[in-house]
Amino acid sequence: MLVVRDLCSSYGAIAALKGVSFEVPRGSVVALVGANGAGKSTTLNSISGLLKPDGGSVRFDDREIAGWRADKITALGLAQVPEGRQVLGGLTVEENLLLGAYTRRDSEIGKDLDDIYLRFPILKNRRKQIADLLSGGEQQMLVLGRALMSRPKLLMLDEPSLGLAPLIVQEVFRIISELKERTTILLVEQNARKALQIANYAYVLEGGRVAQEGPAEELQGDPKIVEAYLGRKT
C-alpha cells in the first residue's frame, strides 16, 4: 500500500533523512521506532507532503506522490495524526470532527460522526466545547477521531502516547489495536515496547537511516533492541 524508497529530506543544510526505505502492506500495522531526533516525524512529514523531500520515491496505492501538495495527498486517503495533537483549538469538538471529513463528498458523514461519538463518548459530551479546553488525553481522542472521519486507507500516527498519563496511554493503545481491524496503520513511537506489542513489523530509525528491521516479535526478543529501546520498564 505504501512503499518508500531512498527518501531524503533536509532542513536547510541539515540532512535529516539520508535514504530511508520501508513498506507498509495493506492491512498491517508497521511501527517506526527510534530515539528522539532519529527522523521519525520527518519521515511522516515527507510522506504526507508537509515537507518536500529532496529525493527518493513514495508510492501510495501505486501512485508516485513524493513532492505532492499535502491536501492532495490527504484526499487520496492518507491521514496523518501529527505529533503534539494539534487540535484546532478555537473550533468546537464537533467542528474539528466535521473538518476531518473535509475531503469527503458522500452522504454518510453524519453516520460516521455518530460512530465516532459511540467510540469516544467523552467527545460526545463535549461536542459543543472549544477543543482547547480538552485535556491532553481527550485531545488525543479528538485527533484520532478527526483522522478517522476522513475514512483513511492509511493512518499515520506520530507519537500518539507522548506526554499522556499511563492510564490514558493504555486507553490510546487499546483504541489503536481496535483500529487495526479497520485500516492500515503506520505507527511512530518512542514507546517502543508498546509499539512492538501492537505492530506486525517494525523498522528502527537511527540518524536518518533504517538501522534494523524485522517482524515485531523478533525485534522484541533482540538483545540489542532490548538494551537500546526497551531497557527501562514503563
Partner 1 sequence: MSDLPQQLINGLWQGAALALFAMGYTLVFGVLDIINLAQGATYMWGAFFAFLCVTKLNWPIWYAIPAAMVGAGFLAVLLDRLAFKPLRSLTSGGLVLWAGFIVFLLGAVGNLSQDIKWVTIVSGALIMLGGFVLDYRSGKPLRTREVPHLAPIISSIGATFILVSLAISQFGAQVSRFPPNLFPVKPYNVTAEAVISPIQVLVLGLSLGLMIILSFLINRTQMGRAIRAIAWSERTSRLLGINVDYVIAQTFFISGALAGAAGVLLGLAFNRLEPNMGGEVELAGLTVIIVGGMGSIGGAAIAAFLVGMIRVLSVAYIDSSFRDAFVFGLLILVLLLRPSGIFGRSKTVRA
Ligand X SMILES: Nc1ncnc2c1ncn2[C@@H]1O[C@H](COP(=O)(O)OP(=O)(O)O)[C@@H](O)[C@H]1O
What is the pattern of x (binds partner 1, CB under 8 A) and - over residues 139-158? -------x---x--------
Residue 39's binding partner among Mg ion, partner 1, ligand X, none (Cβ under 5 to 8 angstroms by kind) is: ligand X
Phi, psi (degrees; rounded to nearest 5) at 214: 165, 170
Query: Is 16 among the residues that bind ligand X (CB under 6 A)?
Result: yes
**82, 146 contact by CB (below 8 A):** no
* Binding region for Mg ion (CB under 5 A): 41, 83
Q: Tell me which of partner 1, Mg ion, ligand X, none is bound by residue 144, counting a contact when its beta carbon lies within the kind-specific cut-off of 5 to 8 angstroms.
A: none
Say if CB 103 and CB 75 are below 8 A apart: yes
Question: On the CB side of 109, how many CA atoms lie within 13 Å of its CA?
Answer: 16
Query: Any bridge partners for residue 5, and if so which?
Result: 57
Element (H, E) at 220: helix 216-221
Piece in contact with ligand X (CB under 6 A), picked from 33-41, 68-76, 196-204, 211-219: 33-41
Distances, alpha carbon 121 to alpha carbons 113, 136, 137, 140, 204, in Å: 12, 16, 13, 13, 35
Q: Are 20 and 209 in contact (CB under 8 A)?
A: yes
Rule CB under 8 A: choose which of 74, 140, 184, 220 binds partner 1: 74
Q: Which amino acid is at 234?
A: T
CA distance 91 to 173: 26
19 binds, options Mg ion, partner 1, ligand X, none, Cβ within 5 to 8 A by partner type: none
- Which of 63, 69, 174, 182 is the binder for partner 1 (CB under 8 A)? 69
Nearest distance in Å: CB 188, Mg ion:
7
The residue count for binding ligand X (CB under 6 A) is 11
**Binds ligand X (CB under 6 A): choice among 36, 106, 111, 232:** 36
Q: Is the distance from CB of 102 to CB of 71 less than 8 angstroms?
A: no
Which of 75, 162, 168, 175 forms a contact with partner 1 (CB under 8 A)? 75
Task: Give the residues lining the site for partner 1 (CB under 8 A).
Answer: 48-50, 52, 67-72, 74-75, 79-80, 82, 86, 88-91, 95, 98-100, 102-103, 146, 150
Task: Give the residues lining the site for ligand X (CB under 6 A).
Answer: 11, 14, 16, 34, 36-42
